[in-house]
Structures are given as C-alpha cells and as structure tokens.
Amino acid sequence: MEMLSLEKELKENSYPGRGIVIGRSADGKKAVTAYFIMGRSENSRNRVFVEEGEGIRTQAFDPSKLTDPSLIIYAPVRVLGNKTIVTNGDQTDTIYEGMDHQLTFEQALRCREFEPDGPNYTPRISGVMHVENGRFNYAMSILKSNNGNPDACNRYTFAYENAIAGEGHFIHTYKCDGNPLPSFEGEPKLVAIPDDMDEFAELLWNSLNEDNKVSLFVRYIDIETGNYESKIINKNK
C-alpha cells in the first residue's frame, strides 16, 4: 500500500469532514492519534473541543447559536483502562460501554449505523487503541450507507496488530465536498507519523481547509508507561 502525504491529502480536499488518524511514532515509542472536525453550517462551526476526564468532548462555542445538538455535541475521545477510544459521534459511549462488558470493538458497534442526516447519511468512523505491556495494537471502523441508500448499513473493521514505527492510518467521513456528501471509500489511508506532537498537530491544522476547519485533538501515548500528552487546537477562541 502506497504511503500518502497527509498534508497533501488534506490540502487537496476542502471537506473531508471529520477525520481520525491512528499510528505509531517514527521512533516507535508513542501510540499516536489525532481527531479533527470541520463544518459547513453555522451550527457545525459553532464548536470547540474541551478536556473531559482523560478524554475530550465537543461544546458549543456560543451556546445562544446552538440549534440542534444531536449530532454535534458528543465525547470524541474516552479512555477505558488501557484502551483509548476515538470516534466522530456518540458511538464513543457505545464502544466504551460495550467493551466494558467484554464485547469486542466490532461487536460493540453492531447496534449502531451511519448518522440519520439524509441525504448525506454521514458515516460513523471509530478507532480504538490498545496499549499494554509495551505492545500497541489498534483498530478502525466505518459504518456507512450502501452508496447513499439508507436501507442497508455497510460495516467495515480494520485491525492493525503490532503497529509499525512511523506508520499510521487515516480515515475520514467524506470522500470530498459535494451535495450530497459522498462517503469515504476503501481502506484507511497509510500515512507517516512523526515523533513530535506539536509538529504533527501543526501539520494537520495548517493543512485543513481554512474556512471549514473547526477543532483538532492530538494525543501521544508512551507505549512503555501509558503516560500521555495531548494538544487541542480550536478555531473559535
């Protein structure tokens, strides 16, 4: 699989929607994730990321402008023991609760499907990182409509064992801008993961479309100790 330039992928796509990157730093020492949100409507753009416990949640920047919280206010990142869950919706909670009751990542998502925002039927994208005993595995999932047909949900899970240093995978909700918005297609994209968190955050933030980007979260987890550092960038300040 060809390694793609994350910078190029983002700069050449004005609206990938929401995106998740998971991988391992080039020096092999860190488990890395990034999650970004974008928006075309005022309601979508009126958001910030805030820390909540060991994870984050979205919050209205100007509560007076919030019209419909249902698909835009949620916890994108939660931590369950040695697992870090990252998603583009409230399925974060579904995965957390399912895995807490011994379901697998894939099983936990069986009760969910794409978002009910026709005609886009935005895919639900999710990831889970498992860091234990100096090992790092991760998985990613996408639940999407059948080529825009909401009568069927297509479910794809991609598992990456023993993550390779310097490599990560990128999945996003929309293939590109459009009306309706076409869902992401294919496997998560192979991308490079650098050692420096600030450098990675800067590359992502500066590559996202200036008009549409809203917020970015990046976390680097030490695979040996489980300690982590995070960074949040919000357009709304």
> Residues 6 or more apart from 38 whose CB is under 8 A from it?
15, 16, 17, 18, 44, 208, 209, 212, 213, 214
3-state secondary structure of 8: helix
Structure tokens that stand for 143 in this block? 């639940």
User: Which CATH entry fits the domain spanning 6-234: 3.30.420.10, 3.60.20.20, 1.10.3720.10, 3.40.50.300?
Assistant: 3.60.20.20
Q: What is the mean pLDDT of residues 59-74?
A: 92
pLDDT in tens, 94-147: 999 999 999 999 999 999 999 999 999 999 999 999 999 999 999 999 999 999
Q: Which residue has the tokens 């894939």?
A: 106
Identity of the amino acid at 115 = E
pLDDT in tens, 198-237: 999 999 999 999 999 999 999 999 999 999 999 999 999 9
d(CA 156, CA 229): 30
d(CA 73, CA 68): 9
In sequence order, the β-bridge partners of residue 219 are: 33, 230
Contact 151, 113 (CB under 8 A): no
**Could you tell me the residue ranges of all domains in the chain?**
6-234
Backbone phi, then psi, for 174, in 5-degree steps?
-115, 140
Q: Is the pLDDT assigned to residue 195 strictly greater than 90? A: yes
Predicted TM-score of the model (pTM): 0.98
In sequence order, the β-bridge partners of residue 32 are: 23, 220
pLDDT of 68 reads 87
pLDDT of 164 reads 97
Q: What percentage of the chain carries pLDDT values higher than 90?
A: 97
Q: What is the dihedral of CA 119, 123, 124, 129, to 10 degrees?
A: -170
Of 135, 171, 157, 159, give the one whose Cα is nearest residue 31. 135
